[in-house]
Amino acid sequence: QVQLVESGGGLVQPGGSLRLSCAATVSTFNINTMGWYRQAPGKERELVATISRGGSTNYADSVKGRFTVSRDNAKNTVYLPMNYLKPEDTAVYYCYVQGYYSDAEGVYDFWGQGTQVTVSS
């Protein structure tokens, strides 16, 4: 199975920084893409940032220039340093992994349990 362990959430003031981490434990699963989504109260879950195994990234327009997604393939870990945080960034952040099994068809998605990020003065 695939297990995702998230850490790094918390409470910060506007303009502050946090660094999220998500470590994936896998067996026969091969990870292609890792990243982060978030969901604020009353809103739909939205893409924050993703990164392919080769390092290609995608960002939501709202976080470009402030967040940087990176990964360590050897550790199956994805990171999200978040700078210049705004109250609008307040949400539950979910780690995301996508990949395939060595002995099965199809592409599969997995989600972390979520970690709270609160930006408030």
Give residue-wise pLDDT tens across range 35-79: 999 999 999 999 999 999 999 999 999 999 999 999 999 999 999
pLDDT band at 1, cuts 50/70/90? confident
User: At a CB cut-off of 8 Å and minimum separation 6, what does 113 contact?
Assistant: 4, 6, 94
Q: Which two tokens stand for residue 34?
A: 């890792």
Does residue 11 have a pLDDT over 90? yes
